[in-house]
Structure 1
Amino acid sequence: MRFLIIIPAHNEEQNLSFTLDSLQQQSSKDFKVVVVNDGSTDSTPEVIRKYTENDSRFETVNLEKSEHQPGSKVVHAFKNGLQKQSLDEFDIICKFDADIILPENYLETVENAFINNSEYGLVGGLLYVEKDESWVYEGNSNKHHVRGPMKAYRKECFVQMGGLRETLGWDNIDSILLEHLGWKEVVLPELHVKLIKVKGADYTIRPADYYGRYFYFLGLKRFLAYIASSKEAMKSKSLAFFFDIIKAYEACKSKKLELKITKEEQKAVNDQRWKMLKKKWLKM
């Protein structure tokens, strides 16, 4: 199976070489890498050039700097890299971040998982971050969800679900849609992917605004959005945080901001949330 790996990169001069080196060191060699330079103002283009000039498997796409919005920016860059490729040449479509280090057997293990399990639509490992001079599990998500920095999709699944959505929450929307279509999302815990920097550290959006917008663009109906908001507020032990999230959600709703999912897909998202609610909270 052949991999198409697309890596959005904006001002990643300190991290990108670690990612690209780890790809060159893969035990599986049948891949193509497209690094999308999203308007970098540092030496990211020079870093990319070191690989494109010496390894024919590496290409680059240069974009003007796009607006820095969580979720939509990175998918916008990804799509620009994707549209210049012929999907007929590939079997696995990957969206990787520019600040990860992959174990040498990452692609080989993912490939074998797809070959041996025809129902697998999305496969990935677990993220680890550096803490006290050692690498520890990031723990920001459950161990059954493939995190955004290291997504690998079976091409048929990727096409069937309509690719990635240029919106906040895209990396949860994909999980819900592929499950709705009968595919499985699988985390391979033996694959430890090192995340060089902490995600979201450079976002200027307030946490409450982030969650409110996230629940809106995820397509959650009001009741489920309020339930999700209460869950986040309980984590923070702050009633004010709950109302701030709701305020942000309702602001999006009053403006009727465009969702990047269809009515049918929105129904699938809400049905899945109801299913989770009944299972975890109502024990049904």
Structure 2
Amino acid sequence: MKFLIIIPAHNEEAHLSFTLESLQHQRFKDFKVVVVNDGSIDATPEIIKRFTDADARFETINLQKSAHQPGSKVVAAFKNGLNTQNLNEFEIICKFDADIILPDHYLETVETAFQNHPEYGLVGGLLSVKKNGSWVYEGNSNKNHVRGPLKAYRKECFEEMGGMRETLGWDNIDAVLLENLGWKEVVLPELRVKLLKVKGSDYTIKPADYYGRYFYFLGLNRFLAYVASLKEAMKNKSLSFFLQIVKAYESCRSQKLELKISKDEQQVINNRRWNALKKKWLKI
């Protein structure tokens, strides 16, 4: 199975070479990498050129600088890279970040998982971050969810669910949609990927605004959005945080901002959230 790996990169001079080197060192060799230079103004283009000049499996495209919006910007860059390729040549489509280090057996293990399990639609490993000199599990989200920096989709699954959505929350929306179509999302815990940069550190919006917008673009109805907001506020032990999240959510609703998911897909997402809520809190 051949991999198409698309890596959006914006001002990643400190990390990108580590990511690309870890791909060059993979034991599994049948892949193509497209690095999307998303308006970088640092040495990112020079780093990309070093790899494209030396290895025919590496390509690049250049985009003009755009405003940083969580979720939508990275997916837009990904799609620009995807549109340059003939998908008939590939069986696995990956969206990787430009600040990760993959173990040398990563692609090999993912390919084997897809080969042996035709029901697998999305596969990935676990992210680790460096703390006190040691690499430890990141702990963001749960261990059954493939995180945004290391998505690997079976092409049939990717196409059936309509690809990634250009919106905040895309990396949770995909999991719900593919599962609803009968595919499985699988995390391989033996695959530990080093994450070099803390996610969200370069976001330009406040945390409460982020969550409010996230819950809106995820398609949550008011009740479930308020429950999710309360959960985040309890983590912060702050009533004002809850009110700020709700305010941001309601602002999006009042503006009737465009969602990138259909009414049916919204219902699927809300049903899954509601079922999880009943199972965890109501014991139904």
Report if TM-score (shorter chain) is over 0.5. yes
The equivalent residue for 2:182 is 182
CA distance in 2, matches of 1:112, 1:201: 34
CA distance in 1, matches of 2:75, 2:136: 27
The equivalent residue for 1:236 is 236
CA distance in 2, matches of 1:113, 1:283: 33
Aligned pairs (5 A) from 1:167-206 = 167-206=167-206
RMSD (CA atoms): 0.5
Could you say what secondary structure the match of 1:175 adopts?
Answer: helix
Aligned pairs (5 A) from 1:7-18 = 7-18=7-18
Could you say what secondary structure the match of 1:144 adopts?
Answer: coil
The equivalent residue for 2:63 is 63
CA distance in 2, matches of 1:238, 1:183: 38
Paired residue type of 1:108: E
Could you say what secondary structure the match of 2:41 adopts?
Answer: coil
Could you say what secondary structure the match of 2:126 adopts?
Answer: strand
Over 3 Å off, 4+ runs = none
**Offset, 1:188:** 0.2
Tell me the alpha carbon deviations over residues 66-95 of structure 1, each in whole angstroms, 9 at most, x when there is no partner.
Answer: 110000010000000000101100000000
Q: Is the Cα contact below 8 Å between 2:68 and 2:204 reproduced in 1? A: no
Aligned pairs (5 A) from 1:83-122 = 83-122=83-122
Could you say what secondary structure the match of 2:28 adopts?
Answer: coil
CA distance in 2, matches of 1:173, 1:275: 16
CA distance in 2, matches of 1:200, 1:23: 24
What TM-score, normalized by structure 2, do the two folds share? 0.99
Paired residue type of 1:247: K
1:282 aligns with 2:271: no
The equivalent residue for 2:134 is 134
Tell me the alpha carbon deviations over residues 130-184 of structure 1, each in whole angstroms, 9 at most, x when there is no partner.
Answer: 0111100000110000000000000000000000000000000000000111100
The answer for unaligned runs of 5 or more in structure 1 is none
The equivalent residue for 2:42 is 42
Q: Is the Cα contact below 8 Å between 2:2 and 2:31 reproduced in 1? A: yes
CA distance in 2, matches of 1:85, 1:280: 43
CA distance in 2, matches of 1:281, 1:32: 45
The equivalent residue for 1:30 is 30
Aligned pairs (5 A) from 1:260-279 = 260-279=260-279
Tell me the alpha carbon deviations over residues 107-140 of structure 1, each in whole angstroms, 9 at most, x when there is no partner.
Answer: 0000000000111000000000001111000001
**Offset, 1:204:** 1.8
**Offset, 1:274:** 0.8
Paired residue type of 2:169: G
Tell me the alpha carbon deviations over residues 12-66 of structure 1, each in whole angstroms, 9 at most, x when there is no partner.
Answer: 0110000000000000000000000000000100000000011000000100011
Could you say what secondary structure the match of 1:186 adopts?
Answer: strand
Paired residue type of 1:2: K
CA distance in 2, matches of 1:77, 1:67: 12
The equivalent residue for 1:164 is 164
**Offset, 1:275:** 1.0
